[in-house]
A and B are shown apart, each in its own frame.
Chain A
Amino acid sequence: MSMLVCNVSLGALSKGIVDGIAFLGEMFPPDFSALPDMIYPAVETIMISFLATFFGALLSFFFALAGASNISPMWLKSISRFFMATERALPEIIIILLLVAALGLGPFPGVIALAIGCIGMLGRLFSDAIEEVNAKTIESVQSAGATKIQVIQYVIIPEILPSLISNTLFRFEVNTRLSVLLGAVGAGGIGYEIFYSFQLLEYERATTAILVVLLLVFMSERVSDYFRKKILSNTKLK
Chain B
Amino acid sequence: MIEVKNITKSTKEGRQILKGISFKAKKGDFIGILGPSGAGKTLTMRCLNGLTKPTTGEILITIDNQVHDIAKNKGKELRQMRQKIGVVFQGFNLVKRLSVLENVMIGKLGQINQFRSLFKGFNNEEAQKAYEALEKVKIEKLAKRKVASLSGGEMQRVAIARAIFQEPVILLADEPIANLDPTNAKKIMKRLKPLSEEMPVIGVFHQPEIASKYCNRIIALKDGTVVYDGNSDISEDLLMDIYGDELQEIENQALVSAPLA
Show the binding face of A for B, using Cβ within 8 Å. Answer: 134, 136-137, 139-147, 149-150, 153-155, 158-159, 161, 238
Contact = CB atoms under 8 A, between A and B. Distances in A.
Interface string B78-98: 011111111101010111111
B127 interface: no
Nearest to B163: A144
B215 to A, nearest CB: 22
Given A136-B89, A140-B87, A143-B51, A159 B79 contact: no
Which DSSP category, helix, strand, loop or mixed, fits chain A's interface?
helix
Interface of B: 49-51, 79-87, 89, 91, 93-98, 102, 106-112, 114, 117-118, 146, 148-149, 159, 162-163, 166
B89 A140 contact: yes
8 contacts: A141-B95, A144-B108, A144-B166, A145-B82, A145-B83, A147-B110, A153-B118, A159-B97
Contacts of B159: 140
A161 B118 contact: no
A153 B121 CA distance: 10
B79 A154 contact: no
A145 B149 CA distance: 26
A161 B146 CA distance: 14
B95 A159 contact: yes
B97 A238 contact: yes
Most A CB contacts (10 A, CB to CB) among B106, B107, B163 go to: B106
Contacts of B108: 144
Nearest to B88: A140
B93 A144 contact: no
Contacts of A149: 114, 117-118
Given A141-B109, A145-B79, A158 B95 contact: yes
B51 A139 contact: yes
